[in-house]
Structure 1
């Protein structure tokens, strides 16, 4: 069996429709339980491109079939966590209202709900990295360094 999580990097997908974004409420993970997170997120496997990781995670977590043309990298966060340096790569995907994407949670034991939020009215329980990434998205900031 292939060992995962060998890299110190992760990808996140902001699913956007008009001025709303889809978020998931985490549970039973021991990490940010009860907090909202971007709908798709996960570690990059060894020798995997960031785009391929995003496509794989979208399929694994939400049964969402996407292509490279569907997503756009909008910001990168460079941070220090657990005495290691991490890079978080954030992508955005515009969802058309009239298209049926069949978004569903494939990790029912980890995700309590999926919910749409206005970009300007985000939930209070939102992790620091996601707050920064969403702010970067709204302001067009490409790179942030935090946690030093």
Structure 2
């Protein structure tokens, strides 16, 4: 079962969303910095790596907070770990313009309509303090 990591980057009541582009999955819809464990790395290390690869920022392990877990079913079954961070080093830059055509800050309680549904649910859970959920069952 794939293990995915997702990051809520938070600044002044806003969350960073990225619009998927040219990936074949949910293109044109907003998501968050995310990826998969490459194996032989813990989920926090995977999240730090993905933040560097996708947004060009460095996050220290003690600046990433656990936000929740989602057991999700779509085409396959997945475990999604969600983290949050409000402190990082460097400027956020779109490091994957071939997979993402927009990085924008949105009010966390006023998201655009084209957020991937399970991501929207995870953000709602984060706001509400829900640490575990299932989706798609």
Q: TM-score range by the shorter chain?
A: over 0.9
**2:34 pairs with one of 38, 41, 61:** 41
> What TM-score does the superposition give when structure 2 sets the normalisation length?
0.94
Name the residue aligned to 2:107. Answer: 118
Which residue of 2 is the match for residue 3 of structure 1? Answer: none
Matched, 1:133 2:116: no
Q: Give the deviation of 1:36 after TM superposition.
A: 0.6
User: Alignment partner for residue 91 of structure 1, among 60, 70, 83?
Assistant: 83
Q: CA RMSD in A?
A: 1.4
The answer to whether residue 44 in structure 2 is matched with residue 51 in structure 1 is yes
- Structure 2 distance, partners of 1:132, 1:93, is 18
Paired with 1:78 and 1:123, the residues of 2 have a C-alpha distance of 24
SS state at 1:54 partner: helix
SS in 2 for 1:42: strand
Distance 1:113 1:127 in 2: 15
Unaligned stretches of 5+ residues in structure 1 = 1-6
Q: Count the aligned residue pairs.
A: 137
Q: Distance in 2 between matches of 1:80 and 1:108?
A: 28
**2:56 touches 2:90 (CA, 8 Å); kept in 1?**
no
Superposed CA offset, 1:24-77 (max 9, x none):
111111111110111x11011122210010011111111111111111011111
Residues 59 and 87, structure 2, Cα contact 8 Å, conserved in 1:
no
Aligned to 1:68: 61
Partner of residue 19 from structure 1, selected from 6, 13, 27:
13
Task: Report the 3-state secondary structure (helix = DSSP H, G, I; strand = E; otherwise coil) of the residue aligned with 2:102.
Answer: strand
Considering only CA atoms, is the larger Rg found in Structure 1 or Structure 2? 1
TM-score by length of 1: 0.87
Q: After TM superposition, where is structure 1 displaced by more than 2 Å over at least 4 residues in a row?
A: none
